[in-house]
């Protein structure tokens, strides 16, 4: 989650590197395992969701 406070490039690298691994075999659902920190802007959170939709497609 700390990467969600960073630049778009950093956010994309984090999401892409994780999603492509965990979605193998099917059944992965993205979620925050805790509340989103106050340091994460709404714009960054929306960007995360866009990336999850892009990289998380089966």
| Per-residue buried b or exposed e for 14-50, using 16+ beta carbons within 10 Å of the residue's own CB | bbeebbeeebeeeeeebeeeeeeeeebeeebeebbee
**pLDDT number for residue 1:** 58
Domain range for 11: 2-55
The reported pTM is 0.83
Question: What total number of domains does the chain contain?
Answer: 1
- Tens digit of pLDDT for each residue in 7-54? 999 999 999 999 999 988 888 888 877 788 899 999 999 999 999 999
């Amino acid at each position: 989650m700390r990467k969600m406070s960073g630049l778009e490039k950093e956010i994309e690298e984090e999401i892409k590197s994780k999603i492509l691994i965990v979605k193998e075999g099917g059944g992965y659902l993205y979620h925050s395992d805790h509340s989103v920190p106050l340091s994460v802007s709404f714009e960054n959170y929306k960007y995360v969701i866009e990336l999850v939709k892009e990289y998380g497609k089966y």
